[in-house]
């Protein structure tokens, strides 16, 4: 008997580092999983294979989380296939290339960050919330509660914390929580970056996608049934970022 047996979970951006680890962990804990992706179909297929090998159902759905038509279609498809939605993990994000700077703006990228990182949470929550109400389900957002990666990324990701609190009020009794990962090596950190992050943290290593996935699973579980509007930092005590 697993804690998510018979439950259906949507993970946005499940083709990425943290999203794919989260999708696998939910499947290990009994859930059928919707693997949402936008451009990385091969990676999404690998996640689907891993979930199916665990004996769970996986539904691979391409959708731009910031596009209401895409998200409405995705939600209907999930209901057609799984009949219910218990958890929505708003994990997808658009982020800048490493050298992206304020002085050298790419306006299209800035707009994409606003759309995906802010609108994406709102659009997905809007379409999925009626089904979460039926199942007493909940939402977990993956945010960034500190400034890193240039102001376009930092601004749109730190908005996730007040959005989480606002949605918790708006959608209660649906619980809405967030995790704020510290630097997790999903992009191939340089040795120098790694050394800086390890120096800043109290726990002397960089984080793994599974560290974040475990926190998401906890917040989505019945063990967190009295927690809402909260942001849990999963950063090894990396207070320098806050
Ligand atoms: N890694 C860190 O250090 C860190 C720290 C703090 C917060 N976070 C947050 O953690 C989450 C996961 O990050 P990650 O490090 O795992 O990044 P990642 O590997 O780059 O994954 C990002 C995911 O977002 C998806 N995505 C982008 N635009 C999308 C769109 N319009 N619609 C649907 N999906 C879209 C990507 O899908 P495709 O590739 O299929 O397009 C990909 O699956 C993000 O919210 C990020 O801001 C990460």
Buried-exposed string 204-213: b where 16+ CB fall within 10 A, e elsewhere: eebbbbebbb
Give the rounded distance of the alpha carbon of 11 from its chain centre.
Answer: 7
How far is Cα 8 from Cα 79, in angstroms, rounded to an integer?
9
The residue among 232, 233, 9, 12 whose CA lies nearest residue 122 is 12
Which residues approach ligand 1 with their CB closer than 6 A?
Answer: 12-13, 15-19, 36-40, 64-66, 91-95, 116, 142, 144, 157, 181, 183-184, 186
Determine the distance separating the centroid of ligand 1 and the alpha carbon of 36, expressed in angstroms.
11
Predicted local confidence at residue 237, as pLDDT: 94
Q: Dump the DSSP string for 146-207.
A: S--SHHHHHHHHHTHHHHHHHHHHHHTTSEEEEEEE--B-SS---HHHHHHHHHH-SSSS-B
How far is Cα 89 from Cα 215, in angstroms, rounded to an integer?
12
Predicted local confidence at residue 152, as pLDDT: 86
Determine the distance separating the centroid of ligand 1 and the alpha carbon of 41, expressed in angstroms.
14
Residue nearest to atom 20 of ligand 1 (CA): 16
In ligand 1, which atom is closest to the CA atom of 18?
16
In ligand 1, which atom is closest to the CA atom of 19?
16
Fold that domain 8-237 belongs to in CATH: Rossmann fold (3.40.50)
Give the rounded distance of the alpha carbon of 122 from its chain centre.
Answer: 13
Predicted local confidence at residue 2, as pLDDT: 85
In ligand 1, which atom is closest to the CA atom of 43?
40
User: Do 213 and 28 contact (CB within 8 A), yes or no?
Assistant: no
Determine the distance separating the centroid of ligand 1 and the alpha carbon of 77, expressed in angstroms.
22
Predicted local confidence at residue 99, as pLDDT: 58
Q: Which of 66, 72, 93, 241 best tests ligand 1's pocket when mutated (most atoms within 8 Å of CB)?
A: 93
Q: Which of 22, 38, 147, 194 best tests ligand 1's pocket when mutated (most atoms within 8 Å of CB)?
A: 38
- What does the longest C-alpha to C-alpha distance in the chain come to? 54
Q: Which of the residues are catalytic?
A: 153
Predicted local confidence at residue 77, as pLDDT: 98
Predicted local confidence at residue 39, as pLDDT: 98
User: Do 85 and 135 contact (CB within 8 A), yes or no?
Assistant: yes
Q: Over the chain (242 residues), what is each successive 10-residue block's mean pLDDT?
A: 94 98 98 98 98 98 98 98 99 81 82 97 98 98 89 92 98 98 92 92 95 98 98 89 62
The residue among 9, 61, 36, 13 whose CA lies nearest residue 220 is 9
Burial class of residue 42, CB neighbours in 10 A (0-12, 13-18, 19+): exposed
Predicted local confidence at residue 242, as pLDDT: 60
- Collapsing DSSP to helix, strand or coil, 54 comes out as coil
Unique residue bearing structure tokens 């218990």: 86
Predicted local confidence at residue 150, as pLDDT: 80
Determine the distance separating the centroid of ligand 1 and the alpha carbon of 1, expressed in angstroms.
31
Determine the distance separating the centroid of ligand 1 and the alpha carbon of 116, expressed in angstroms.
10
Strands 175-181 and 231-234: parallel
Q: Which of 15, 16, 140 best tests ligand 1's pocket when mutated (most atoms within 8 Å of CB)?
A: 16
Element of type H or E holding 87:
strand 87-90
Q: Is the dihedral of CA 222, 242, 183, 18 positive or negative?
A: positive
Unique residue bearing structure tokens 């995705």: 74
Asked if the bond preceding 173 is cis, omega within 30° of 0, the reply is: yes
């Amino acid at each position: 008997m697993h804690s998510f047996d018979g439950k259906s979970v949507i993970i946005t951006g499940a083709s990425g580092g943290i999203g794919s680890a989260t999708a696998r962990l939910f499947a290990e804990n009994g859930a059928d999983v919707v693997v949402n992706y936008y451009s990385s179909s091969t990676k999404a297929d690998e996640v689907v294979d891993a979930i199916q090998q665990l004996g769970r159902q996986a539904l691979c759905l391409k959708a731009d989380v910031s596009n209401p038509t895409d998200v409405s279609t995705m939600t209907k498809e999930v209901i057609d296939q799984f009949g219910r939605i218990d958890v929505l993990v708003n994990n997808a994000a658009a982020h800048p290339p490493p050298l992206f700077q304020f002085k050298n703006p790419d306006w299209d990228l800035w707009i994409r960050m606003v759309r995906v990182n802010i609108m994406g949470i709102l659009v997905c929550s809007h379409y999925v919330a009626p089904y979460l109400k039926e199942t007493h389900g909940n939402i977990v957002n993956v945010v960034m509660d500190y400034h890193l990666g240039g102001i376009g990324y930092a601004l749109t990701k730190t908005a996730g914390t007040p959005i989480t609190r606002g949605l918790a009020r708006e959608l209660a009794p649906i619980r809405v929580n967030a995790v704020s990962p510290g630097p997790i090596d999903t992009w191939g950190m340089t040795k120098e970056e790694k050394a800086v992050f390890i120096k800043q943290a109290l726990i002397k290593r960089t984080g793994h996608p599974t560290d974040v996935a475990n926190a998401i699973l906890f917040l989505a579980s019945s063990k967190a049934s009295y927690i809402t509007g909260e942001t849990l930092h999963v950063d090894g005590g990396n207070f320098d970022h806050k």
